[in-house]
Structure 1
Amino acid sequence: YAETDVRVERVARRLAALGVGPEVRVGVALPRGVEWLTVLLAITRLGGIYVPMDPEWPEERFTFVREDSGAALVVTPHTLWEWRELPEPPGPAPVADVPLDAGAYMIYTSGSTGRPKGVLVTHRGIAAFTAALGERFAIDADARVLQLASAGFDASVMELLMALSGAATLVIPHGGRALAGQDLHDTLADHRISHTLIPPTVLASIPTDAPALPDLAVLATGGEALTPDLVRRWA
């Protein structure tokens, strides 16, 4: 966590120099990984609004979300590469003190009309939600939480909050690739995942003859219908 804080501070100084502050919306078009997490936390430190943007989106959707969200800046891998060529801004990054009803992040849903719809989530309730996750799921510093959801889904924020609630380890699969089936099982086993959130369809893709997962303590699932057979298997 100390190393992460140093990374976040460095990125926050750069973002602050570019005008990011309370309620400034910042698009993050990065694959899941250390840099994605660092930029997300740096935006939060400055009181900005995090707007996840999938680098794999079609150009039309990417442009729509950027314009509709009012993002003042979009962080891409190229942006990060450019920053490495520039001198570090002087002084510490300001730590924002924002109202509870200020925006924290903005997630775009598919939209019932086919057009993406932005949902702005405020800071109110996030701290209580984080504390509740840590208490209900018994998360401590020994826990290992899998970051499975795409950044474009609200579940990705829940996964991050699960880890932060108990100073646990957040495990981000290499390259942020989508996981399912045997690949997902092997990731859970190899990284000794203790807490994870897996949608029913993805959970059902894990082979029924796969070895047991002795480190898995808490499995949360939802977002779609959960069949009785799946409940019996995993319970």
Structure 2
Amino acid sequence: AHQHLKLTDIHNLTPANELFDTVVVFENYPVEDSAVEQEASTLSLTHAEARDATHYPLSLMVMPGTGLHLRFDYRPDAFDRPHVEGIADRFVRILKAVAASARQFVRDIPSCSEDERERILNAWNNTTHEVPGTTLPDLFEQQVARTPDALAVTGGGTRLTYAELNARANRLARYLADRGAGQERLVAVAASRSVDLVVALLAVVKTGAGYVPIDPEYPGERIAHMLRDADPVLIVTQAETAEKLPAETAVDASRLVLDDPVSRALLEDQDPSNLSLDEHRPNRLLPQHTAYVIYTSGSTGRPKGVAVSHAAITNRLLWMQDEYGLEPTDRVLQKTSSAFDVSVWEFFWPLVAGAAMVVAARGEHKDPAALAGLIRTEEVTTAHFVPSMLGAFLQHPDAATCAPLKNLICSGEALSVELKNQALRTLGGSVHNLYGPTEAAVDVTFWECRAADDTVPIGRPVWNTRVYVLDAGLSPVPVGVAGELYIAGAQLARG
């Protein structure tokens, strides 16, 4: 019953200092039967039975003869019988393919059966869902028309309804459009955590331009590289954050300081109505146009700009609303840096769903005690944490006072089983594990965590998205075999 134990396990479980006192080894050298008969003329062996096993999880023994005899042994705590039978079937199928055509490369032989291939490529990736061809400003303005007097955003003592937020964004959008912002152009936004930041991002997408978020806390060299690379037509900033921008960026872009008295007066004179197809929108904004460009470090460590279209991010937001269903009474915490892709849904999901956004102030967004207080006082129902931050938050005694938190969304790092269970116990709501790269509109897979689960998978693909685990030859690998994750579908970044 315990044959799978390793020698070290046996040693650890026994009080004896010495593991063995006797060992007998019989080495069975392959010799001719006649030789054995001659040497053993005085001895006779009438009967023998043998069972051998190892402590390895899976073993394959190949015994030659007129045909190969294959024997698979496995530990039942590591594999079940159907899994091992599947491995054996694949192995036999590959051997038959080699025997049928010995000149082919082994790597070209499909390791999946036709049924497995169909399930992996099509059945598990059947995510087709009709999504309207729309844009971020269209979705927001439709929500403004539905709930103009509902609370849209709060932060730093400022509270704006949907109508008020829309008017402020429209004024700024007209100002930006007059200065060159439009389709397939970029506007850099370097503003501190505030309602002004929300207004600026909305205004940029209303002009048709894509916004480039600049975190003022980034090193000057990184900011300078991002500005040179993006080459924005304008830089929207504030007095405090403008001081942190490099003086020499080799970028020929004018700056708008939002909290400058002259700028405020100019913006107040602008028309607060939605932009239309006139001199401010000479061309129609299309779903294929760039909505934002977020810079990632990339594999080389050099920041790389990822251009995401309106079609990609609206697919992501509409799926999210269908899956999690924000209601008018919901409050979404906005605490992620605008330069990190998770911030995109924190900014726009509540505003296209009729909920309210709660902006955590600078410093507050990284302080567990301050966050707990904000979640309580603003009655936040939905929040995102990267697992490392979640661990620090849950260790604070005030975290329990935030319960029940309707939706806790985790991404950015691997979520452990222990942390998942702690979050479920402490916050009392749903815990969701999402995965995806910046190059695919934030997230491409999702999983709702359950207390009984002993793993936290990344889950299944979202709407109109396909995910494949492929080998080095770009062929699907069977279930349980490691490979690399490939992503396809509507949310891929441009280029």
Q: TM-score, normalised by structure 1?
A: 0.92
Return the alpha-carbon distance in structure 2 between the equivalents of residues 112 and 156 of structure 1. 22
Match of 1:33 in 2: 194
Answering whether residue 341 of structure 2 is matched by residue 161 of structure 1, we say no
Return the alpha-carbon distance in structure 2 between the equivalents of residues 91 and 162 of structure 1. 23
Of 65, 84, 94, 2:275 maps to 94
Aligned length: 235
Deviation at 1:160, TM superposition (A): 1.8
Deviation at 1:177, TM superposition (A): 4.3
Answering whether residue 166 of structure 2 is matched by residue 5 of structure 1, we say yes
Q: 1:149 to 1:91 in 2, by over 3 A?
A: closer
Match of 1:71 in 2: 232
Answering whether residue 183 of structure 2 is matched by residue 22 of structure 1, we say yes
Identity of paired residues, percent?
34
Contact 2:287 / 2:311 at 8 angstroms: preserved in 1?
A: yes
Deviation at 1:128, TM superposition (A): 2.6
Return the alpha-carbon distance in structure 1 between the equivalents of residues 350 and 273 of structure 2. 26
Deviation at 1:226, TM superposition (A): 0.9
Q: Give the RMSD, CA atoms, in angstroms.
A: 2.0
Alignment of 1:68-147 (within 5 A): 68-78=229-239, 79-80=257-258, 81=260, 82-86=262-266, 88-89=269-270, 94-95=275-276, 96=281, 97-147=284-334
147-156 or 177-186: bigger deviation? 177-186
Which structure 2 residue ranges, 5 or more long, are not aligned?
A: 1-161, 240-256, 425-495
Q: Deviations over 1:146-195 (max 9, x none)?
A: 00110110000011232123210100013474324223222222221101
Q: Secondary structure at the match of 2:187?
A: strand
Contact 2:364 / 2:370 at 8 angstroms: preserved in 1?
A: no
Contact 1:51 / 1:105 at 8 angstroms: preserved in 2?
A: yes
Return the alpha-carbon distance in structure 2 between the equivalents of residues 182 and 84 of structure 1. 34
Deviation at 1:92, TM superposition (A): 5.6
Q: 1:72 to 1:233 in 2, by over 3 A?
A: same
94-103 or 49-58: bigger deviation? 94-103
Which structure 1 residue ranges, 5 or more long, are not aligned?
A: none
Q: Deviations over 1:77-135 (max 9, x none)?
A: 14221412547356966345322221110000122222111100011132232222112
Deviation at 1:204, TM superposition (A): 0.5
Contact 2:332 / 2:350 at 8 angstroms: preserved in 1?
A: yes
Q: TM-score, normalised by structure 2?
A: 0.45
Match of 2:208 in 1: 47
Paired letter, 2:378: H
Alignment of 1:212-223 (within 5 A): 212-223=401-412
Return the alpha-carbon distance in structure 1 between the equivalents of residues 206 and 165 of structure 2. 13
Return the alpha-carbon distance in structure 1 between the equivalents of residues 289 and 199 of structure 2. 21
Answering whether residue 356 of structure 2 is matched by residue 195 of structure 1, we say no
**Structure showing greater Rg:** 2
Q: Deviations over 1:188-219 (max 9, x none)?
A: 22221101111101110122643342341011
Contact 2:172 / 2:270 at 8 angstroms: preserved in 1?
A: no
Contact 2:364 / 2:371 at 8 angstroms: preserved in 1?
A: no
Contact 2:208 / 2:285 at 8 angstroms: preserved in 1?
A: yes
Match of 1:226 in 2: 415
52-61 or 7-16: bigger deviation? 52-61
Q: 1:86 to 1:159 in 2, by over 3 A?
A: closer
Q: 1:229 to 1:84 in 2, by over 3 A?
A: same
Q: Secondary structure at the match of 2:402?
A: coil
Q: Which has the higher contact order (CA 8 A, sep 6+)?
A: 1
Deviation at 1:220, TM superposition (A): 0.6
84-93 or 112-121: bigger deviation? 84-93
Return the alpha-carbon distance in structure 1 between the equivalents of residues 195 and 238 of structure 2. 12
Return the alpha-carbon distance in structure 1 between the equivalents of residues 178 and 274 of structure 2. 9
Paired letter, 1:14: Y
Contact 1:49 / 1:105 at 8 angstroms: preserved in 2?
A: yes
7-16 or 156-165: bigger deviation? 156-165
Match of 2:453 in 1: none
Q: 1:181 to 1:232 in 2, by over 3 A?
A: same
Paired letter, 2:324: F
